[in-house]
Structure 1
Amino acid sequence: MANGLQTARKARGWSQERLIREMERYAREHISVIASTASLRVYVSEWENGKRPISEPYGKILRALLGTTDDELNGRHTMPAASVEADGYDELVNRIDASRSVSLTMVKTFMDQTELLRTVDRQMGAASLVDQMTGHLSTLEEALTFAVLPETRRPVALALAGAATLAAWQALDVGAVERAWRHYELGKHAAKEADEPMYLAHATAEQAYVLCDAGRPAVAVELVRDAQRAGGKVMSPRLRAWLYAAEAEICAKAGLPDDCRRALDNAVRCLPAGEGARDPDMLSIFLNQGHLSRWRGNALALLGDDEAVSDLYVSLDAMDPTFIRATAGLRCDLAQAHLARGEYDEAHDHLRQARLLASRTGSVRHRRRIEQLTQGL
């Protein structure tokens, strides 16, 4: 109990006093009644020392603020789902019968819910969505577990693959790296069940970012290239371009400039022309010339290349204002590019704005990068 709350709070860079202020702000905004400031000081201390259990009303507030699951908040490892008792055939048959009612209309509802969560995440950040996403994944896993025939399993598995990959990226953003890894594994298994190589390639490539953030970029390069092989010849041109752009960024982090530039050239070659960004065959992929220019600037900034600045400013001018988290990342890229040129005032200004955006979305991942770049000022 002590480790969960304290770890999540420190990952945010919050003191206990800051956590209390955020709890009070949340309560005001959601018209909730909570204890006085003095009492909250006692509660937080006792929660972190394991002297008081976190009740559900406070757990709901803390999960929304810190982006943790209930198990993570309380320092528990996720336990496997309770198995069906040996003689519980009635319950098992009921679940199997219920799964047969999962129609294509219901699968579309699942996918629409994933899309809604993706939109909210893009604009407000992942931290406030942990309860909704946890419930969404549980519903999809339950539907898949008790579905029997392929005509039911495959569409449910496809919906689960998309939702699990989104949940994994959200977990990575809030600093829950083990949860991110497990969700990517779930997404990969679901993609294989659905026989969808594109979804498998996407989940595998995003999982490489967990390795990068963990300080293993060389292994991440191998994994993102394996993702390209997993996608095979059935991948859409836009997804192929996305995978090459991801490879370029990871190669830059691994200190492989030639490989990085070669991957960028391949991304440009594969990307379809036009302003459209959404891949109709893979709704989680957004990539057009503007996005690729931003990605190129990111990779070149990581390499310390002077060309990065011009690409990044073009991307900043074209950035969709609803992509709050992406804008925070772009500001970090600009700070890094200016630092490489010794332009410290400009770097400081972009880091200040990145810090504000990261605070709005609760992004621990961006906050860590901001702290690393700040040390270079």
Structure 2
Amino acid sequence: MVQSFLDQTELLRTMDRQMGAAGLVDQMNGHLTAMEDALTFAILPGTRRPIAAALAGASTLAAWQALDAGAVERAWRRYELAKKAAQDAESPLYLAHAMGEQAYVLVDASRPLLAVELIRDAQRTQAERQSPRLRAWLAAAEAELCAAAGPTMEADARAALERAEALLPDDADTRDPDMLSIFLNAGHLTRWRGNVLAKLGDATAMAELYAYLDSADPSFVRATSGLHCDLTQAHLARGELDDARTHLQKARLLANRTGSVRYRRRVELLTGQL
């Protein structure tokens, strides 16, 4: 049963990144309800833990989908469910990851400094039991959240990026077997670094972003919308308006294709700067 839950989550995750979350709400809700019911009637700890771990992974996915759809309160509640499930599973990895992603809800709710505090708390949550890839992901997330908090945290953002690079395992893997919710390799970190540098107005962001664009996984359709938003921002910082408009149009098309409210909002903000 647990493997069936994991397989269903993986299918929903694949559909989400390729087509967006808008058409998956009912499926995701039914999937979570089935796992919550299974956990409710599981008796022995050895039975409850794997179900709870599966629920934690699915709940973070559901929360990220809700955030992408602009449903901030629903996203928050899904992250609370994920954290509770991670505690039931006795999994510091899923707990730290849920806390880290929940920080993005605070950014969307205009509380960036509180978001930075939460992502730092996540990194301190049983840090000795966190995998290197998860620690690298949390450090990169801190860098992005510091950049979003404004120019006063630029040094913190750059320091967190350096930590992420140092922590990322030097291998060809993208995911940890015990942490399937995270996709992170050297290529993904290049895109993330470009995102942070673009937010900081750093001209070197351009090289990082184009390097990733040339080798990007085409299945990450929604994420590519964010990449074009970053390139728009980077070109704007250099006053290259024609290039900025080109990437903004691509970002808009992909955001509309996946139904991403979050990226549509960013596109509109960037449109106002052209």
What TM-score do the two structures reach when normalised by structure 1? 0.71
One-letter amino acid matched to 1:195? E
Partner of 1:132: 27
Partner of 1:376: 273
* Aligned counterpart for 1:279 among listed residues 176, 193, 218: 176
How far apart, CA to CA, are the structure 1 residues paired with 2:11 and 2:187?
Answer: 24
Residue 342 of structure 1 and its aligned partner are, at CA, apart by 1.0
SS of residue paired to 1:368:
helix
Partner of 1:3: none
Matches within 5 A, 1:150-299: 150-255=45-150, 256-299=153-196
SS of residue paired to 1:215:
coil
Matches within 5 A, 1:96-115: 106-115=1-10
How far apart, CA to CA, are the structure 2 residues paired with 1:290 and 1:160?
Answer: 29
One-letter amino acid matched to 2:205? A
How far apart, CA to CA, are the structure 2 residues paired with 1:115 and 1:231?
Answer: 26
SS of residue paired to 1:162:
helix
* Contact persistence 1:198–1:235 (CA under 8 A): yes
Partner of 2:17: 122
SS of residue paired to 2:117:
helix
One-letter amino acid matched to 1:136? H
One-letter amino acid matched to 2:140? A
* Contact persistence 1:200–1:231 (CA under 8 A): no
Tell me the alpha carbon deviations over residues 100-159 of structure 1, each in whole angstroms, 9 at most, x when there is no partner.
xxxxxx111101100010011111110111110000000011111222221111111111
How far apart, CA to CA, are the structure 2 residues paired with 1:149 and 1:107?
Answer: 15
Residue 319 of structure 1 and its aligned partner are, at CA, apart by 0.6
Residue 231 of structure 1 and its aligned partner are, at CA, apart by 4.1
Matches within 5 A, 1:57-72: none
How far apart, CA to CA, are the structure 2 residues paired with 1:196 and 1:279?
Answer: 14
Tell me the alpha carbon deviations over residues 219-247 of structure 1, each in whole angstroms, 9 at most, x when there is no partner.
00000001111141111111110000000
Percent sequence identity over matched residues? 69
> 323-332 vs 139-148, which deviates more?
139-148
SS of residue paired to 1:286:
coil
SS of residue paired to 1:317:
helix
Partner of 1:332: 229
How far apart, CA to CA, are the structure 1 residues paired with 2:149 and 2:68?
Answer: 21
SS of residue paired to 2:194:
helix
How far apart, CA to CA, are the structure 2 residues paired with 1:128 and 1:233?
Answer: 39
Tell me the alpha carbon deviations over residues 292-311 of structure 1, each in whole angstroms, 9 at most, x when there is no partner.
01100000100000010110
SS of residue paired to 1:283:
coil
* Contact persistence 1:312–1:330 (CA under 8 A): yes
Residue 171 of structure 1 and its aligned partner are, at CA, apart by 0.6
What TM-score do the two structures reach when normalised by structure 2? 0.98
Residue 281 of structure 1 and its aligned partner are, at CA, apart by 2.1
Bigger relative contact order (CA 8 A; separation at least 6):
2
Residue 344 (1) aligns with residue 241 (2): yes
Residue 279 of structure 1 and its aligned partner are, at CA, apart by 1.8
Q: What root-mean-square deviation, in Å, do the aligned CA atoms of Structure 1 and Structure 2 show?
A: 0.8
Partner of 1:304: 201
Gaps of 5+ in 2: none
Partner of 1:11: none
User: Structure 1: which 4+ aligned runs deviate by more than 4 Å?
Assistant: none
Tell me the alpha carbon deviations over residues 261-316 of structure 1, each in whole angstroms, 9 at most, x when there is no partner.
00000000000113321222211111111110110000010000001011000011
Residue 144 (1) aligns with residue 39 (2): yes
**Larger Cα-atom Rg:** 1
SS of residue paired to 1:285:
coil
One-letter amino acid matched to 2:211? V
Partner of 1:316: 213
